[in-house]
Structure formats: structure tokens, C-alpha cells
Chain A
Amino acid sequence: MALRELKVCLLGDTGVGKSSIVWRFVEDSFDPNINPTIGASFMTKTVQYQNELHKFLIWDTAGQERFRALAPMYYRGSAAAIIVYDITKEETFSTLKNWVKELRQHGPPNIVVAIAGNKCDLNDVREVMEKDAKDYADSIHAIFVETSAKNAININELFIEISRRIPSTDTNPASSGKGFKLRRQPSVTKRSCC
């Protein structure tokens, strides 16, 4: 069976649940007292998709301001970006829109964008309407799901949808696994790290 490596990065405000989504996907576990990610964290998981094996190389980035400038290092060469917001916090949705803008300007041209409205188990304190987010996602042709890492809702579905959207190997060699090597991407601007 053919093995494809897919580089995926998670972006979004601090505390929206990026790491929790990754943990649920990779380890199928959840820690309510998870500490904020420092820098970025790398994990992999291989899943079968149709007649291929998809090895997800997942870069879980830190949402804090001081790591902001590191993000290009991770979305460069990514096949997909999952941008996460917290449905109980309006401002995390505005941050998400900024990430979309940045990806459109500086990200790889064919990057698959997925929008995940996390913490959908906290429906009673919801601040972002599902319809608003869905409309926005449609307007930018992004995948949209509401997820709950805590209750394992839509986490696997999110990654399956990414597998589905990624162009197959023969039509787009650019996203075929080799792209994950950070070195291959010439850095355009000399950014400082933070």
C-alpha cells in the first residue's frame, strides 16, 4: 500500500485546544489540565485512507504571542492547516480570520485549510454561532467542523476530510510528502524568532 506523508500544522489562539485535538487524534486521550505548548510540538499518526496510508506529520504550534513569528516555519510546505477557534470565545474567531489572511498571503498556494470550532461540548456558553462560522468557511472554501476534543466529537472526521481534500499524488506532486522538509523551503524574509 502506498504511503503518503502529509504535513499538517495547527494554528490558532492560545488555549483554544490545538494540542487537545492532536492528543485526541494521536493518542485518543484528553487531559483537562493540559499545559500550554511551548514552541511547537511534533507528532505523527498513520491512518488508512482508501487504498493509501496517510502518515500525518503534525506540527502543533504554540498560540502565544511570542511564538507568533515562528508560524511560517511550520505552515511553509504544509499540505493542510487546521485553524482552531474556541466557540465560547468570540475573539479567538477574529484571530482565526487573521490566520486565514496570513495563509492566503504567505502560505503555500494549494494548502488545504480546515476550520475547527473546538469545545462544542460547551454549547451553553457559546459565543460564535455555528452558521456564521460555516458561512465564513464556505466563503474561503475551507473545511468546517465543530469539534470537541474532550468528548471526541468530529476529531477523526476532521482528519479524514483533510485526507479527502488533499489532491491525489499523480495530480499534485508538490504536496506529496517530500514537501515536509523544512530546509527545502527557502526562507524569504529573515524573521526573528519571536
Chain B
Amino acid sequence: MAADVHKKKSWEVSNGSLVPGDGQHTERSESPTPGLAQGTEPGAGQEGAMFVHTRSYEDLTSPEDGAAAVRSPEERRGEPAEQSSMEQISKDFSELSTQLTGMALDLDEEMRAGKEGKLEPSPQTTRRDSVLSGKEEEDVTMDAWRLHRKHVFVLSEAGKPVYSRYGSEEALSSTMGVMMALVSFLEAEKNAIRSIHADGYKVVFVRRSPLVLVAVARTRQSEQEIAHELLYIYYQILSLLTWTQLNHIFQQKQNYDLRRLLAGSERITDNLLDLMAHDPSFLMGAVRCLPLAASVRDAVSSSLQQAKAKSLVFSILLSGNQLVSLVRKKDQFLHPIDLHLLFNLISSSSSFREGEAWTPICLPKFNSSGFFHAHISYLEQEMDLCLLLVSTDREDFFTVSDCKRRFQERLRRRGVQHALHEALRTPFYSVAQVGIPDLRHFIYKSKSSGLFTSPEIEAPYVQEEEKERLLGLYQYLHSRAHNSSRPLKNIYFTGPRENLLAWVTNAFELYVCYSPLGTKAGAINAVNKLMKWIRKEEDRLFILTPQTY
């Protein structure tokens, strides 16, 4: 069953075409800062975007069929001008610092909680490495099990366990029964349970019939963000089964044990949860590119573009969790969530390392009712360069395999392999390249292209838990900036261990981490300098000229 690429789905933007919406261009034409209007910010594609346009983070969390009903906070508030000039920003910051004392206190509290958190034993991770046993079972009655920072459970509406991040599903069947009872109890009253907050825990429920997803977390994430992660898990399950098949199964047999069909996929889901705790891509709803000289990237992209076949919809070259190049069929756009799921699939299994894999895969945001067929292979054994060719025809393996051969041949003929090898040797850049002494780390996302850039996380965030803490701070800033009842555009926070800044406009999002010794004025100057640097480097850090077949 090939996914019908022509089928219109609800992800289409509300203007009725498949072309990514051009945001608020028309509304914003009188913006005082045309230089930063959406589509012209650093990193914006010069010839349109590669991805389905996600207007905002809220797009991702909204129920998929009601996307049109949910509007981004900017739109909702009908907010006028965008503050972009530096004078304006500094003015805003001084206003903000008085307005936001409540918030700052809050953050302070959160940070202190983080310090206390360090006393807790680091979460024990039992991996499921054995092919045979599936996973090493963890005793769910032990304290160690309770101490995990984030549990994730998936169950069917009949209360049957489908997935548990830690411990065996069987041992948890009564716990999951209780979860389902809670959901049903409130539904009987025509109500819906969304979360329970108690004792430092957030219990978040996401209902996507025929599944119920539950997270029990004591991380600092907001309820909205945890729900967002649960949705990713839901999409992950859809990518294995399709929405159509999932529904069909439960219509046939309400108490079906879905673990049978998902057997062997637990590690993919486990990996996704781990990845979401480390990789800001998921938080940003955007994709990071491998830094690469524009000439090399263009050569790679056009080689990829020329190695086409009728059934191909997307050709994707990636390294680690970074995008090297993406070529798509004209008028077909990939959703960042779908690309994240593909990244996760590849990083979760070493089985793609040898030979050529050919596997059905559903891209739930593109079309949740059918399978694509993905040809997955590494270009060279020692190199972390994986080629993904997404086809609509499951019988087309040899044609698609030949596309790979042709691509490699062109790459050789153009002589860019050496440059590509070099780029792979340094997949991350150092923040020192920007030349701002107090700058420790940043995340910059171009909204129109759906791409973001971020330097390597360096000292003092060396330890794994320090890295997670930094991501936690970004998560916090992000949740503040995107809070649905009170979104913020500028946040500046002076903390004991670092100073933080967030700046969200229609065109971009910027999250910056400074050393705690700097001043606010210095931080604002640095933002100016940083934006100039990103502009200067944009053709290396982003894909500015995406190709189509």
C-alpha cells in the first residue's frame, strides 16, 4: 500500500495550498524592520522552504485535525509591531525586568530545584540490547524504578499495556488499569483529564483514540512540553503501523495486545525518549544542518537531485542527527516531525550499517493512512553519512537502489567527497568562532525554513547532567516564551550560574546562554553581534537553496 502523496490532508496550511504559508507577510508588510520579516531572517531559504510550514510551536501540540482552529499567540493577540531594533530591545528588556519579577523568582526557584535534584541518584538506565529477550526487566516494585525522572506509558482504551519506558508492561498492567480508570471516570462526566500535579510530579495524559499516553515526570518541563513529547511517541507508533491500521485493529478487537505488532520496536521508542532529553531539535520543532560550505552542499544536493526516480518523494542525506541535504518532489513538503522520526529510526538501530535496508514507513504528519518505502543505507562503512530514499512503491527497490549508485557516482565525479569527509570530521562548530567572550551557547531557529543552528555544548556543560540542565533551561525559556496564556517575546534572566536570554519574533527564535559575569547591556550587544555572525555564516549553517526533483 503506497502512501498517496496526492491525498490532501489536514496538515495543509489553511490557505488551501501545499505551499508553506508565507506567514504574516501581508499583515506585517508595514513592520518597521523589514530586514527581519519572516522569510528574510538569517537561515531563511532563498527559494522557499523544505518543510511544511509550522506557524508556531503550538501547531505541533494542537490536535491534528483542528490545526486551523488553533492560532499562534501572536495572531491571537493581533499584536502590532515587532521589536527588532536594538534600541527597542534594550527598552523592552528594562521594562521586562520590572514586569517579570514574578517570573524571574519562579525561574530562580526552578534552578534551585535543579540543584537539589543533583543529590538524587542519577537515573538508572537499563537498555534493551538483547535481540532475544527484548529488554532486561526492571523490578517495578523497587525504589530505583520509582526514581526515574520520566516514565512514559502507552495503553489501549481497554486498559491493556502497550509500552512502558521502564519495567515490563505485564508487571504494570494494574497500574495502567488505574490510569485508564482515571481517564474513563472523567470521560463519563463528559470531561477530559489532562494532568495531575502532586508531590513534585506531573502526570500528563494525552488521549489519541485508540491509545492513551501517560507521562509521569519530575522534570522541569511544562505540562505542554510533556504532552508534546507524548505526541511524538504517538506519532512514532503511527510511523510503524499507520493510523488506519491501528484503528482497524482495535475496531476488530478491542482488547488486542498491540505489543505483538510492536515487538522489536521498543528500542526505537526508548531511543526517541532519550533523544528528546538531549537534542534540542524536538523542542525547537526544527532541524539542524551539518555545517558545510555552500558550494559542497550545492554539489551534494544537485547530485541527489539528479539521481531521481519516478517513485521517489524525498531524498535525504543525514549525518548523526544533522541534515546534510534534502531533495523533495515538487509540491511535496516534509513535516519536521516526520523528519525527526526518520532521524530517530536511523539512530536507534545499527542494523542499517550493513547492506541496503528496505522498510515500510509511515510519515504520520504527511499521510497517516499509508506506508512509504524507505531505502536506507550508509554511503561508506566508516563514515557517518546515511542516505534515505523515500519511495511510494514497495516493489521499486532495485530502481531506488540504482538511484543510490548514481548519486555516489555523481558525488565522485564532482570531486566533493573529500570536502564532505572533512566536514564530517567536525560536525559541530565551537561557540568561540563567534568571538563573543561571555557567550557560552545559543540556539537560533529560522522560523520560515524550519532550520536551527547551535554550537557544540562546551565547558562548563561537560557532564551529561550539566548538558541536560542546560537543555532544561532552554526548555524553560521556551515554555515561557510559548506559554499559551501569556506568551513572552523577550526574557532576560541573571542567574547564579549563567545568564539567559530568549528573544522570539515572527521570523526567528533565539535562546542564548552567557557566563554569569556579564551585564545585560553586554548581553544585548552580544545578541547584535551574534545575529551578524549568523547572517555571515548562514550559507554554511543552513540550507538556503533547497532542491526539488
Contacts and interface: CB of A to CB of B under 8 A. Distances in A.
Interface of A: 14-15, 19, 22-23, 26-27, 31, 33-43, 60, 62, 64-67, 70, 73, 181-183, 187, 190, 192-194
A71 B357 CA distance: 14
24 contacts: A22-B355, A26-B355, A34-B131, A34-B350, A35-B350, A35-B351, A36-B131, A36-B267, A37-B351, A37-B357, A38-B349, A38-B351, A38-B359, A42-B357, A43-B356, A64-B264, A65-B260, A66-B265, A70-B394, A182-B397, A187-B395, A192-B245, A193-B371, A194-B261
Nearest to A29: B354
A189 to B, nearest CB: 12
Given A36-B131, A66-B240, A182 B395 contact: yes
B20 interface: no
Nearest to B267: A35
Contacts of B442: none
Nearest to B133: A15
Given A36-B349, A38-B357, A65-B263, 11 more contacts: A41-B354, A41-B355, A41-B357, A42-B356, A42-B397, A64-B264, A64-B265, A66-B262, A66-B263, A190-B1, A194-B240
Contact of A42 (B241, B351, B358): B358
B222 to A, nearest CB: 34
A36 B267 CA distance: 10
A193 B244 CA distance: 12
Interface in B236-274: 240-242, 245, 260-265, 267
Interface in B48-72: none
B132 interface: yes
Contacts, number: 102
B272 to A, nearest CB: 14
B352 to A, nearest CB: 7
A156 B454 CA distance: 49
B351 A64 contact: no
Given A14-B131, A66-B262, A66-B263, A38 B354 contact: no
Nearest to B132: A15
Contacts of B394: 70, 73, 193
B357 A35 contact: no
Nearest to B261: A66
Interface in B126-156: 129, 131-132
Nearest to A70: B360
Contact of A35 (B131, B262, B355, B397): B131
A43 B355 contact: yes
A194 B245 contact: yes
Nearest to B245: A194
Interface string B76-107: 00000000000000000000000000000000
A183 B351 CA distance: 26
Interface size of B as a range: 35 or more
A182 B359 contact: no
A193 B362 CA distance: 11
B184 interface: no
Contact of A39 (B241, B260, B360, B395): B360
Interface in B377-430: 394-398, 401
A192 B362 CA distance: 13
Contacts of B398: 181-182
Contact of B359 (A15, A27, A40, A190): A40
Contacts of B262: 66
B527 interface: no
A53 B348 CA distance: 37
Given A14-B131, A73-B394, A182-B395, A40 B263 contact: no
A74 to B, nearest CB: 9
A163 B264 CA distance: 33
A15 B345 CA distance: 19
A43 B395 contact: no
Contact of A36 (B264, B356, B401): B264
A38 B352 contact: yes
Q: Which 8 A-B pairs have the closest CB atoms?
A: A39-B359, A43-B355, A64-B264, A41-B355, A35-B349, A193-B360, A15-B131, A35-B351
A15 B131 CA distance: 6
B264 A14 contact: yes
Contacts of B260: 65
B131 to A, nearest CB: 4
Given A36-B131, A36-B349, A23 B354 contact: yes
Contacts of A66: 240-241, 261-265
A7 to B, nearest CB: 11
A15 B130 CA distance: 9
B263 A42 contact: no
Contacts of A183: 395-396
B357 A39 contact: yes
- Of the candidates A41, A60, A73, A193, the one having the most CB atoms from chain B within 10 angstroms of its own CB is A193
Contacts of B374: 39
Contacts of B351: 19, 34-38, 41
Nearest to A119: B132
A39 B131 contact: no
Contacts of A38: 345, 349, 351-352, 357, 359
A41 to B, nearest CB: 4
A120 B42 CA distance: 60
Contacts of A42: 355-358, 397, 401
B241 A194 contact: yes
B347 to A, nearest CB: 11
Contacts of A64: 263-265
Nearest to B357: A41
B387 to A, nearest CB: 14
Nearest to A31: B350
Interface in B482-533: none
- Of the candidates B242, B351, B397, the one having the most CB atoms from chain A within 10 angstroms of its own CB is B351
Nearest to B350: A35
Contacts of B371: 193-194
Nearest to B268: A38
B127 to A, nearest CB: 10
Nearest to B244: A192
Contacts of B401: 42
Contact of B356 (A31, A41, A187): A41
A38 B356 CA distance: 11
B446 to A, nearest CB: 32
A125 to B, nearest CB: 12
Given A14-B131, A35-B349, A38-B357, A192 B1 contact: yes
Contacts of B352: 38
Contacts of B241: 66, 194
- Of the candidates B241, B242, B263, B371, the one having the most CB atoms from chain A within 10 angstroms of its own CB is B263
A40 B349 contact: no
